[in-house]
Chain A
Amino acid sequence: MFRRGPIERTARLGYDATVLPGPTEAAARALCQCIFDRGHGIPPDRMSFALVDVDDFTRRAGPKTRFAFLASLLLLQWIWPLAFGFFGRFSALPISRRLDLLEKIEATALAPMLVLPKAMLCLVFFEHPDALKEIGYDGRPLRLIEAEK
């Protein structure tokens, strides 16, 4: 159904992980920029950490969740911009326009469609040790084995 995205080597996971299928990856990257970019771009290692990990997460969550996650990204990429009067794919819109669109979606009954990808990306993005430090978390590392090293 989808063209496969590039294969990225992730030493952390210890196997070759396939990142998200074609258009969904573009939508996920664009969404990440809207959620996590605080004005100076998202470091590439954190972006790929989030994308590779969210791919792994949704595979393990099973076919229903994987389908819902990918479908909500596809809708975000192609359908919601048109439905709300924005011309162009989500990932092709300037960030300010994307934020306007997201705000509009959040205020409607379609909000849950946005919550799923946003929640999943947050869940993995803020597990990166640098992302955690940046938001002032000085608690124990989420992965205790990292503390032991």
Chain B
Amino acid sequence: MTKGAYLEGRNLGPKQQIDCDVVIVGSGAGGGPMARILAEAGLDVVVLEEGPWIPSEVYGKFRPSETLRHIGREAGTTAVLGLGDTPLITVMQGRAVGGSTVLTGGVCFRVPEMIHDRWVKERGLDMLSIKDLEPAFEAAERESSVAVVPEDMRSRATNKWVEGATKLGIPVKSMSRNTEGCVGYGRCNFGCPVGAKKSVDLAYLPAAVAAGARVYSDCLVEKVLTKEGRARGVRGRLLSARDARGSVRRVGQFEVLAKHVVLAAGTVHTPLLMMRSGFRSPHLGRHMTLHPGFRVVARFADRLEGWKGALQSVYVDHFEDQGVTLTGLFVPPSVLAAGLPGTGPAFAERIQNLDRLAIFGGIVHDEGGGRVHDVPGREPLLTYRLGAKEKAEMIHGTKIIAEAFLAGGAEEVYLPVFGAPAMRSMEDVGGVLHDQLSARRMECVTFHPLGTCRIGRRREEGVVDAWGRSFELPNLTVACGSVFPTSIGVNSQLPILAMSTRMAWRLRDELAPRAHV
């Protein structure tokens, strides 16, 4: 067995030649379970991650915006170009050992039953039924310490919305999160400073390293190497740390030769790497779903101090069949301020009432109007077209949140619409949120891009099969958010962990058949 380790590309010699059984590109929700399961089966595993390796005690030294600079891709400012009546959407992605899981709010959902049914009935993907994925979900929940947030951890701000929702007859449920020993530092989305949030860098990679995996940070994979119709390994460059001007330099190069290649670089970068390596599937980079997200802020008369308690604790799936899932949240003051409307005295008054503000958000189940385009430079161009149905769902979801806030006693509600004044009644809300509203005026963000290397029954329908195996190269597996056949309507971390776990079990049986007899 090889000796596992964390190795930083920035400190390695200029030329690295590595041999292994399995090379995994990307160390997030898709890469983590693969690394652990295959290493524990005795396979020689190498994980290559473009971002830096940052131990969790270091997160506490960063302010939120510093975390974004060090761990967020493009410091959290990646934007999707909206086509037609579509808002400008910001896409948040992680770029570090642990991938985007380091930045999550810890929210964990299984894929809803209606989505599994759709995969089986509409897409003929029998192997993705709720029953088939159940063992993988159980394993992922166990490994990531998923537990229901107790009611006494709900913040007063969240409870205000819940009160309003209850008056309107909207059932609210407690959500599950992947935390253990959470003490409420209130900065989950900026790296947990005490390691309570069990992101992949804590829940999976240490066990993978203990079992012999080598995890390389600062390694940008640029090409999948092929020979005679099979993947041979990958090639790329070793990156420096960011210098004072924010630039990353090439400090060397590497080639990793492997029997099997796993791509887990996320929904945006897996298809990009495949395009740049000559893959030809017509589905590559297409069908990207985003779960366009929106949030509403409300001001109450009493002090709520929304930063006290769990930042995310409740959700509403009551409108699932109408294409909307709602979740409670809170964010650090600087992030909250960044989203408040207005300038001058109006803005000053709003931010002065920080302790009286509450937030609630939602996501829309969308239909894959996004695309990853290969353009010169490291980052691709992302485009997205919001459908009329999705726009209506977004408006509907925003209205529901505003109505519950007003029913809960909010004095003012701030909608995610540029230039909208503060709302004091549902008539005000209706005056802004109507069919004629241009989607371009809406503020929108996404945390869950999915579907750019989607699973299909055959190559005419997708990029990989239900086990993530490429239709073009038999010894290449894709295991990250990119494989999902449709939008899932809920946060994506746990579904990706489960999907990757299931694919890893299969790969383990293929590559190390005696390992778990």
Contacts and interface: CB of A to CB of B under 8 A. Distances in A.
A119 B65 contact: no
Interface stretch (B22-30, B254-262, B334-342): B334-342
Contact of A144 (B193, B343, B441): B193
A60 B246 contact: yes
A12 B326 CA distance: 40
B334 A122 contact: yes
Interface string A108-135: 1101100100111011111100001001
A44 to B, nearest CB: 19
Contacts of B338: 118-120, 122-123
Interface in A54-105: 56-65, 95, 99, 102-103
Contacts of B347: 35
A99 B335 contact: no
A58 B75 CA distance: 8
B245 interface: yes
Contacts of A64: 74, 77, 379
B75 A65 contact: yes
A136 interface: yes
Contacts of A15: 244
Contacts of B60: 143-145
A38 B348 contact: yes
B245 A59 contact: yes
A60 B69 contact: yes
A107 B244 contact: no
Given A16-B244, A123-B65, A139 B334 contact: no
B365 to A, nearest CB: 25
A143 B63 contact: yes
Contact of A142 (B334, B342, B344, B443): B334
Interface in A31-62: 34-36, 38, 53, 56-62
Contacts of B99: none
Contacts of B333: 126, 132, 135, 137, 139
A62 B69 CA distance: 10
Contacts of A13: 244
Contacts of A62: 74-75, 77, 246, 379
Main secondary structure of the interface of B (DSSP, over half): loop
Interface residues of A, number: 50
Interface stretch (B129-137, B202-210, B350-358, B488-496): B350-358
Contacts of B352: 38, 135-136
B286 to A, nearest CB: 22
B69 A61 contact: yes
Interface in B21-74: 60-66, 68-70, 74
A146 to B, nearest CB: 9
Nearest to A65: B77
B438 A109 contact: yes
Contacts of B345: 38
Contacts of B337: 122-123, 125-126, 135
B88 interface: yes
A99 B345 CA distance: 9
Contacts of B332: 142
A31 to B, nearest CB: 8
Interface string B286-307: 0000000000000000000101
B456 to A, nearest CB: 33
A35 B185 contact: no
Nearest to B88: A112
Given A112-B88, A136-B355, A143 B65 contact: no
A34 B347 CA distance: 9
Interface in B193-248: 193, 242, 244-247
A3 interface: no
Given A59-B245, A102-B343, A144-B61, A109 B440 contact: yes
B334 A124 contact: yes
B343 A99 contact: yes
B307 A57 contact: no
Contacts of A136: 352-355
B65 A118 contact: no
Contact of B339 (A119, A124, A135): A119
A62 B245 CA distance: 10
Given A38-B348, A127-B334, A143-B63, A57 B69 contact: yes
A68 to B, nearest CB: 8
A143 B75 CA distance: 18
A18 to B, nearest CB: 8
B343 A56 contact: no
B181 interface: no
A142 B354 contact: no
B61 A143 contact: yes
Nearest to B184: A140
B441 A111 contact: yes
Contacts of A56: 69, 246
Given A36-B348, A53-B65, A143-B63, 11 more contacts: A34-B343, A35-B343, A56-B69, A57-B65, A60-B75, A65-B77, A99-B344, A109-B438, A123-B338, A139-B186, A139-B308
Interface of B: 60-66, 68-70, 74-77, 88, 185-187, 193, 242, 244-247, 305, 307-308, 332-335, 337-345, 347-348, 351-355, 377, 379, 418-419, 438, 440-441, 443
14 contacts: A13-B244, A56-B246, A106-B342, A108-B419, A112-B440, A115-B418, A115-B443, A124-B65, A124-B334, A127-B63, A139-B186, A139-B308, A142-B187, A145-B61
Pairs A-B, 5 closest by C-beta atoms: A59-B246, A111-B418, A144-B60, A61-B75, A126-B334
